[in-house]
Amino acid sequence: MPASTAIIVYPAIAALMYVFSALLFKRSSETGVGLWRTTFVANQIVGLLFALLWLLGGREVTWDIVWQPGLIALCLFIGQLSQFLALEKGDVSVAVPIFGLKVVLVAVFTPLVVGIPVSLTLWIAAFLSVAGITLLNKKHEGKRPKNIGVTLMAGGVGAVSFALFDVLVQKWGPQWGVGRLLPLIFGINAILSFSLIFLFKAPLHEIPKTAWKWLCGGSVLLGTQSIIFVSTVAIYGRATAANIIYASRGLLSVALVWLVGHWFANQEQNLGGKVLAWRMAGAALMMTAIVLVVVG
């Protein structure tokens, strides 16, 4: 597949899968799984899925450069913690669009790593993103998204961490090869997640049986979409362009919560048409900002 097509098709598929994984995680959290057990289980399953890429081969791994996947894994670990916190404490249709800020941050961090200058268009896009968040937080008839402060803070930290993750993958991916860098990153991330065991509110075996299907389903979808998206960045580069398409998950999250949220017992669709309309407008502004990053 030509690079220009791959940059559009693969991130679009990943975006759709991500939104469904978010809905599944939200459903599992409502059964009492908890943030830390969710993160641990997800990281183990995702790590195993990425281990399959080792069969693709790559450069010889030496101890003097292992710090590179280690640093990327740390960014991933922090980003995932923030992501799950935002999804558990807040509303999916608010948290997911906030993660869309990542693409603007990718364009900000890229000059520091690659040396590409930041244009005026980027700053205009950043202001549009802020306006988008404002609309996402607009309340109607006394209603407002729950835990909005935690959602915004966790979503922001996650956006920064994932932006650094993408830039570093783009920088070191060609040197390592997909079959070495990515399995190491997600393997280290799985190991880091063992530190979360001490934060469990109850052992894994006490997770309700009804929750496992949502938890494992969300984890498999998360891992699969991660393989698709991260491999695209590592192989083709162009992290900003890939993120533009991937950021469509913000709009998709609002649309899917409205259309099929009831399949997952998600109550956000009951917030009212006007509230979701404001959120759609906010997500649209964020998408416009992201598009401007590339057009400019």
Which of 3-17, 92-106, 192-206 is modeled with the greatest confidence?
192-206
> What pLDDT band is residue 27 in, cutting at 50, 70 and 90?
confident
Task: Tell me if 37 sits within 8 A of 207, measured CB to CB.
Answer: yes
- pLDDT one-digit tens code per residue, 243-267: 777 776 766 666 666 555 444 444 4
CB atoms within 10 A of CB 280: 20
More confident residue, 234 or 122: 234
Give the pLDDT confidence score for residue 265 in this predicted structure.
47
- CA nearest to 99, candidates 42, 152, 43, 39: 152
Kindly state the average pLDDT of the residues 42-58. 91
Q: How confident is the model at residue 122 (pLDDT cuts 50, 70, 90)?
A: low
**Which tens digits make up the pLDDT trace of 202-217?**
888 888 888 898 999 9
Question: What pLDDT does 263 receive?
Answer: 46
Alpha carbons 159 and 241: distance in angstroms, whole number: 16
C-alpha to C-alpha distance for 215 and 147, rounded to whole angstroms: 22
Angle at 34 between CA 103 and CA 136, to 5 degrees: 40
Confidence of residue 16 (pLDDT cuts 50, 70, 90): confident
Q: Give mean pLDDT, residues 175-202.
A: 91
Query: What is the predicted pLDDT for the residue at 67?
Result: 92
CA distance 51 to 5: 26
Does this model's pTM top 0.75? My answer is yes
- In this prediction, residue 239 carries a pLDDT of 81
H helix intervals, the chain: 3-29, 35-51, 67-89, 92-99, 102-113, 120-136, 148-176, 178-192, 209-236, 239-246, 249-260, 273-295
Average pLDDT, the chain: 79
Output the CA–CA distances (angstroms, integers) from residue 294 to 2, 122, 125, 231, in the order listed. Answer: 19, 9, 10, 20
Distances from the Cα of 25 to the Cα of 94, 161, 244, angstroms: 15, 20, 24
